[in-house]
Structure 1
Amino acid sequence: MNMRVHTGLSIVAVVFTAYLAVGGLVWTSPVSQPALFIAALSLYLVTTWLCVFWDFAPRPAGAEPRGEEAPAGALPKGASLPLWLCVLVLATTVLVPLATWSAVDEGARLQPFATWSLGGIGALLTIVTVRRRPLYAWIGVVLLGVSSSLWIGLPNSLALGLVGAAVWVIVAQLLTGLVDRAAVDTAELTGIQRRSFEWLASQEGRRRERRVRVQQALAVAGPLLIRTIESDGDLEPEERERARLAEGSLRDELRGPRLLDEAVRARLQQARLRGSTVTVLDEGGLDAVSPAALERIRADLAEALAGASSERIYIRTSPHPRVAVTVVGRSRRREDPDGDEVVDLWHEIAHPRPTLDR
């Protein structure tokens, strides 16, 4: 709950309960046991204000409240009252009317200063309901009804405040439930809005990346495509070689952009100039890698490709928790050029370990 709202409601509760207690001090007839009467008022005020100010101090953001856990998806609720305080409330519900009516003469038990406890205890039970203990509030209503009926009779109890106490508890429970429902709905709507913003941001990032890729493709392949159209496909050997290299570069940019930097692109270009067929595939595993770790992986990849002379070179990312990238080279044996290819290059690049600041 917002701290300002909490403070405002607490002030209202204190002022209202103090007003009810002061009403009990307006004696319109003699009180036979004034000390007992004032002791009942004091017990009532102490118990009520304990319920109001229990766990009043603001908690740090994100801290879980003590007491009953909030249902799944609900916003954090105010702390519920502890069990010992609920027992004190029930004891106060029984003792305060008992002491009040015992302290006055039998003929004055229907006077407003003698029946203040009906409204006062009703306000106390309303506070208990708001503090997430509705069961104890209803037990208090029953106890209040039984004790008041024994002292002044059920009809007088209903007419002088028992019905109002029950109505207050009902209204407090309904309003608390509605506020909680509204809090849950607000949390769900906030989550939906956040997810929609994240989806829009990801789509914008993808569109921006596609524009960059298209611009790179046009920069690399545009002149060659124009030349191919102009010559009707009759290209010089050098132009065909440039087209082969451009196609390989475009495939690298589309299939494994996270593995590429200037050094890696240069090594791939050199391998293709030596006649190697290079395949780069990003199959996941690097999404959660930090920029610094990704930079070290690229540096290791460029070093692994520095002296690669295999006929076919395969570079793949790995979902393995330890291995980040695997580089495999395959070639035919010189003594058996028509035989099967064998692996002549195998290099695994491990995920860099995070460095701890000392």
Structure 2
Amino acid sequence: MNRTVRSVATSLAVGFAMYFVARSIWWTVQPTAPVLMVLAIAVYLVAVLIAILWDSASSVRMPLWTALLSLLACLLVPPLVTLSLDVTARTAPFATWYIGGLGLFGIVCVVRRRFLIGWLTVAVLVATSAGYLGFGVALNLGLVGSIMWVVVAQLLVLFWDKAIRDTARLAEIQQAVSAWHATQLVRQRERRLRTQFALAVAGPVLSRVVASRGSLTVDERLEARLAEGRLRDELRGADLLNDAVRDAIEDARRRGVIVTVFDEGGLDGVEEDRRAEIRDELAVVLRKAQAGRLIIRSSNDERIAVTVVGRASSGSSRDDDEVDLWHEISREVATG
């Protein structure tokens, strides 16, 4: 689409340039200095074709030297045309071709994103045509049209660029929404799997408790406590768990350690690879812990994702104040 619009615009610009050249050689009055007129036509033709075609296939923005060449041509063409004609012939249709021709220069510069040069060419056109023909005469002979076409070109370019930016922004938003939706689907599936896992573990134990009306052996009571703990962990700290963390928590509970898991969104916004690293680090910390009570907590801290606190004993409140372990896992990979 962009290539098609560019090729059509290029073809139109070349067509208008050829029209002004053809108009310039349709002499109804013989120039007094035809060499100057031919030189003006040649300068215009070369400069306008370079402005339109040079590097247009690879970049919309016109090279600076091409823009400056266009401005130089705009400075040369009006005096060459004027000096080539008698005073009485300077308002003839073939003699005022440069008003539209220089307006085309302004349009090309604006379309190819050289706005300053484009409006400088308009200023040169106004100054030279007013100086050689008179301001009122120049307005009647096409100056108004040249200025208006440059204004229209400027507005179209601004609207086009804004439309491109808005389209790109909408595409980015759509991609972000699609990615967010996919992430939510994955997390919902993970939550279902974790709930199914917890129920699969706790279900047989709960069935045994109901069937025996609470009359359990020592080993069955331990399994019941472990199953209850697993179910609670899956409900309150699912994002913190993987197989290694689950096994480490179960081993700790079998040793008599009280383990409490709280997840308050500490892993929200953390990349999935980093989440896996945090869980692995948490599993290592839990295996090495010797405390009587472990509290695993994640929160929306800017720096810390997970905090593990180990207390010396699970007995009296005095012992609970003694911290045996304090380990913080950062949200980002530690550097340095």
Secondary structure of the residue aligned to 1:30 is coil
TM norm structure 1: 0.74
The aligned residue for residue 286 of structure 2 is 305
SS of structure 2 residue aligned to 1:26: coil
The 3-state SS of whatever aligns with 1:328 is: strand
1:24 aligns with 2:4: no
The equivalences for 1:241-320 within 5 A come to 241-282=222-263, 284=266, 288=270, 291=273, 297-306=278-287, 308-316=289-297
| Residue pairs, 1:42-191, within 5 angstroms | 42-53=42-53, 56=56, 58=58, 78-79=60-61, 82=64, 88-134=69-115, 137-154=118-135, 156-191=137-172
CA distance in 1, matches of 2:134, 2:326: 95
Distance 1:249 1:176, change over 3 A: same
Root-mean-square deviation (CA, aligned residues, Å) is 3.7
Kept in 1, the 8 Å contact 2:81–2:95? The answer is: yes
Paired AA for residue 47 in structure 2: T
Supply the AA of the counterpart residue of 2:214.
D
Query: Relative to 1, partners in 2 of residues 1:243 and 1:80: Cα closer, same or farther, differing over 3 Å?
Result: farther
1:100 to partner: Cα distance:
0.8
Q: Tell me the residue number matched to 2:323.
A: 343
Structure 2 match to 1:240 = 221
Q: After superposition, what is the alpha-carbon deviation per residue over 1:199-221, rounded to whole angstroms, capped at 9, x for unaligned?
A: 43333233223322321232122
Does the Cα contact within 8 Å between 2:194 and 2:238 map onto a contact in 1?
Answer: no
Helix, strand or coil for the counterpart of 1:45?
Answer: helix
Q: Indicate if the aligned counterparts of 1:297 and 1:352 stay in contact, CA closer than 8 A.
A: no
Q: TM-score, normalised by structure 2?
A: 0.78
3-state SS of 2:312 partner: strand
Give the whole-Å Cα distance in 2 for the aligned partners of 1:302 and 1:173: 63
- AA aligned to 1:79 is R
Task: Measure the CA separation in 2 of the matches of 1:310 and 1:137.
Answer: 77
User: Matched residues in 2 for 1:320 and 1:153: separation?
Assistant: 70
**1:219 corresponds to:** 200
Q: Structure 1 regions of 5+ residues with no counterpart? A: 60-77
In the TM superposition, residue 317 of structure 1 has moved relative to its aligned partner by 5.0
- What is the alpha-carbon distance in structure 1 between the residues aligned to residue 324 and residue 129 of structure 2? 96
- Aligned 8 A contact 1:332 1:338 in 2: no
Counterpart among 169, 177, 181 of residue 196 in structure 1: 177
Instruction: Kindly indicate which of the two structures has a greater share of residues assigned to helix.
Output: 2
SS in 2 for 1:275: coil
8 Å CA contact retained: 1:274, 1:309: no
Q: Provide the rounded CA distance (Å) in 2 between the counterparts of 1:273 and 1:345.
A: 19
In 2, the alpha carbon distance for the partners of 1:199 and 1:297 equals 22
1:18, CA displacement in angstroms? 2.9
What is the Cα deviation at residue 80 of structure 1?
6.5
Q: Choose 50-59 or 167-176, whichever is displaced more.
A: 50-59
Q: Cα 1:312–1:4, aligned 2, differ >3 Å: closer, same or farther? A: same
C-alpha distance in structure 1 between counterparts of 2:143 and 2:197, whole Å: 81
Q: Which amino acid aligns with 1:15?
A: G
